[in-house]
Structure 1
Amino acid sequence: MPRVLILNGPNLNRLGQREPDVYGRVTLAEIERMCRAHGATHGIEIDTLQSNHEGALIDAIHGAAETADGILLNAGAYTHTSVALHDAIASVPLPVIEVHLSNVHAREAFRHHSCIAPAVLGQIAGFGAASYLLALDALRLHWESQSA
């Protein structure tokens, strides 16, 4: 059974309370439950981690090289600032999909640039909590295309 690590960065522990007009009212725990259920439907095991600390996210990416078959990463604000996360992603032989709840390209100009985008397989943004499910589907389709 393939395993996916879903990593969530700073402030995502505040989902459901934080700017609900931008991020919705769904909590991170609800998103994680949705992902586990969706993964089970498709034979994918889900591990999750949220951290407000860049180093913890980097350590999790490094560790995933030994324990996971892919990563979904919502790096939060680190998306736009972290060369270190880019380098961590580039250092592991795993497909990584960048995930965002909101459409970052329709928001403030500083959110239009992703430091991690050059190192990931692709991006899914703007579909709220469904962005995670779409990313799981994209990862599954990627694996299928690699084995065909």
Structure 2
Amino acid sequence: GQAPPDGVEGDFMAIAAGGLNSLALRRDGRVACWGHNFNGQAPPDGVDGDFVAVAAGGHHSLALGRDGNVACWGRNLQGEAPPAGVDGDFVAIAAGSMHSLALRRDGSVACWGCNDDGKAPPAGVPGDFVAIAAGGCHSLALRRDGSVACWGLNNRGQA
């Protein structure tokens, strides 16, 4: 459903905004969703689970479980939101227009979904990263030494 103009009531600890939907992570680990749900990215009843982070992409949504696995829902046109989720020892997630990223505990990055322009290489990206971000068609990762790795579409110098 649509969010009321005065906001959404609840005890939330994290938020994410996608193409046409919004997510809010409740302190009890469940995800509240609202906005456009044409592709199932914002189920009005939310998503139950024991989650610690959320990310919203163009038409898909992600939630990082306390167990380190990623739950995915919404459009899966290019493999960006596999219904079975993605298992791993993940500590952070990010969602782009049609691709998804997850930071492993060992500092490497897992990528899935559309790999046009190299934004989500299936082999992932090795490195000693501490944070990740996904743009519409490019991806970033912050190295422990403070430098930034960029990959994907670079038609405007964004990567």
TM-score by length of 1: 0.29
Q: Which one has the bigger strand percentage?
A: 2
Relative contact order, CA 8 A, sep 6+: which one is greater?
1
Higher Rg of the two aligned structures:
2
Higher helix proportion: 1
